[in-house]
Chains A and B, each alone.
Chain A
Amino acid sequence: MITREPVITVKNMVKKFGNFVANDHLNFEVYKGEIFGFIGANGAGKTTAIRILCGLSTPTSGVMKVAGYDIYRQTEKIKQNIGYMSQKFSLYEDLTIYENIRFYGGVYGMNMAERKARTAEMLERLELTEYENRKIGDLPLGWKQKLAFSIAILHNPKIVFLDEPTGGVDPITRRQFWNLIYEAVEKGITVFVTTHYMDEAEYCDRVSIMADGKIVALDTPQKLKEQYNASNMDEVFLKIAR
């Protein structure tokens, strides 16, 4: 499924907050259909980069394209073609599952037939059909996260950005969450994910490791392990970070 066709190109992305450089000349491409991991300690600049690519923040300098659109001039087009799930839980707790889906479907301009079909399919997949009138606030965290992801890709975006989507979730649910990510990739969605769980880095097709606002390594997990003579990504990360 992975091609060499880039859906995200980033050249010399720089983001400064006053004197603090959050992103220092980042260069990378994300290919269509891959799972691209952004790994790094807290404060390494992952979230800043993802926010810029989603149009939530403007870069200081650099040339960037997302889904073929220019990040400065075509943000509206970009927003139509991406999904985004932030670190914070992002559904409305006082609305039911069904109402949340209807709202986000409406926001992305889905027509009713399309939305109904996708909703039914999605609730069945998550085994939540019978709970569609439950308020989100009453659900366990793992369910909420899976639901938030499913809603982020409800409108079939080209790329979905996931900013530490599995924070605070138990290992079994994390595994289930990653199964959902694989299913999304099979549908042709490119996944851009940040995490600081090193086992999740293993699930990515390619991983870029960030430290102090710079990309210090970028390759497949396999090649990174060979290069750093490590048995798992955890070791790779520790060797680089050291």
Chain B
Amino acid sequence: MNRFLAFLQKEFHHIFRDPRTLVILFGIPIAQLLLFGFVLTNEVRNVKIAVVDHSKDYLSIRMTQRLLSSGFFQLAATPSSESEYEGLFRSGKVKEIIVFEPDFGRRIMKEGKAGIQLIADASEPNAAQLIVNYTTAIANGFVKDEFGQNQKLPGVDLKVRMLFNEDMRDAYNFIPGLIAVILMLISAMMTAITITREKETGTMEILLASPLKPIQIILGKVVPYMILSIVNALVVLLLGYFVFEVPVVGSLALLLGEILLFIFLALSLGILISTFVDNQVTALAMSGFVLMLPSILLSGFIFPVKNMPIPLQILSNVIPPRWFIEINRTVMLKGGGLEAIWPNTLILMGMSVLFIFISIRKFKIRLQ
């Protein structure tokens, strides 16, 4: 036990003395959070919009007035034809175009429903979503005020179209995904690098020739990063909850359990990488291209898996964060329990066992 404590102490010296390690451990997670957080908290104020009123009746004019007097929107253009829309967006003159269909008021009165089309510039997806949400809320509020509570409300059919990014996603989805990416970065990449460093500098030989057992060496290298990973996951969860109001709808204990499982998996992956490479630069490159890019691009973190081409969808099955992000979203946002995520949990467990198994085999071959 004393041996192990001596090892841990040394490991923490390494971590806290290396500015680059500290930046990766604490700087990157916080930077990523703030980056996404900044987008999330984009305020809606005096957003420039264009209104196209094909109806120009009492109701459409009143609704336009209501939108413009809300303080959120500012009329910047009234295009007369659809061909002008794209130019308005491209030049940045407007962020949203509101189109009232012909006979808007008459249809509401006669048929009980009418349509408004909202076209938003989704090249800034989170801002676009916010703007559309505000518009929708104001439009619905207007209808309610105009026709009162008691009567059956006429439906205003709001057709939203996100320009430049048709496949709009909920901004909340970033936090569950971000946890996966950060844990991958800290647990897998840092483990791979720190073990490889011992190999590269030659100290691994000395450790292996010492009475320390290989398992003690590996644990000594891994435990500090496990602790830091847990801390980081908690920080992201807490910041997500208090700053960005991303809730944990489901069981917190279940979520933490799954996070621990994923940390274990990421650490095994880091160990596995370290058995393949002999220097830190290769370890970094391997982690970067083999771990980080797929974790961000193929896991569903940014691009939904179901929208990928079939070959990439198949490939995404072997990307561990793909399964973990699903778990996170299910538990955090939908409140799903173990009955919803047990297949994913089994997959993550299976992957961990596989990585550990290959690592042990590689390690034995190396000694021979």
Contact = CB atoms under 8 A, between A and B. Distances in A.
B211 A90 contact: no
A89 B204 CA distance: 11
B3 A109 contact: yes
Interface in A101-133: 102-109
Contact of B202 (A57, A79, A88, A103): A88
A107 B6 contact: yes
B253 interface: no
Contacts of B5: 106
Contact of B7 (A91, A95, A106): A106
A99 B367 CA distance: 29
A90 B205 contact: yes
B317 interface: no
- A interface SS class: loop
A165 B10 CA distance: 24
B69 interface: no
The 9 closest A-B pairs by CB, nearest first: A106-B6, A88-B202, A84-B209, A90-B206, A54-B209, A103-B10, A79-B211, A86-B205, A80-B211
B211 A109 contact: yes
A220 interface: no
Given A106-B5, A107-B212, 13 more contacts: A54-B209, A55-B209, A56-B205, A58-B368, A76-B211, A76-B213, A84-B205, A84-B210, A89-B202, A95-B14, A99-B13, A103-B10, A161-B209
B202 A90 contact: yes
Interface of A: 54-58, 76, 79-80, 82, 84-95, 99, 102-109, 161
A160 to B, nearest CB: 11
Given A57-B367, A79-B210, A95-B13, A90 B6 contact: no
A87 to B, nearest CB: 7
Interface in B74-93: none
Contact of A94 (B18, B211, B213): B18
A107 B209 contact: no
Given A93-B201, A103-B10, A109-B211, A84 B368 contact: no
Given A56-B209, A90-B205, A103 B2 contact: no
B368 A57 contact: yes
Nearest to B208: A56
Nearest to A55: B209
Contacts of B368: 57-58
Nearest to A110: B2
A107 B210 contact: yes
A107 B7 contact: yes
Interface in B294-330: none
A221 to B, nearest CB: 28
A90 B203 contact: yes
Contacts of B212: 107
B227 to A, nearest CB: 19
A80 B205 CA distance: 15
Interface centre among B206, B209, B210 (most CB of A within 10 A): B209
A103 B18 CA distance: 18
A86 B206 contact: yes
B197 to A, nearest CB: 10
A242 to B, nearest CB: 33
Contact of B367 (A58, A80, A108): A58
A108 B209 contact: no
Contacts of B208: 55-56
Interface string B1-39: 011011101100110011000000000000000000000
Nearest to B5: A106
A135 to B, nearest CB: 9
B207 interface: yes
Interface in B52-99: none
B210 A108 contact: yes
Contacts of B13: 94-95, 99
Contact of A88 (B9, B18, B205, B209): B205
Nearest to B10: A103
Nearest to A100: B10
B162 to A, nearest CB: 50
Given A57-B367, A57-B368, A79-B209, A94 B3 contact: no
A210 B50 CA distance: 88
Given A55-B209, A57-B367, A99 B10 contact: yes
Nearest to A81: B211
A111 to B, nearest CB: 8
B17 A94 contact: yes
Given A58-B368, A94-B17, A107 B201 contact: no
Contacts of B210: 79, 84, 104, 107-108
A108 B211 contact: yes
B201 A106 contact: no
26 contacts: A54-B209, A57-B367, A79-B210, A80-B211, A82-B209, A84-B205, A84-B209, A85-B206, A86-B205, A86-B206, A89-B202, A90-B203, A93-B201, A95-B10, A99-B10, A99-B13, A102-B9, A103-B6, A106-B2, A106-B5, A106-B6, A106-B7, A106-B9, A107-B212, A108-B210, A109-B3
Interface centre among B2, B10, B201, B367 (most CB of A within 10 A): B10
Contacts of A76: 211, 213
Contacts of B17: 94-95
A126 B368 CA distance: 37
Interface string B327-368: 000000000000000000000000000000000000000011
A109 B210 CA distance: 10
A85 B209 CA distance: 9
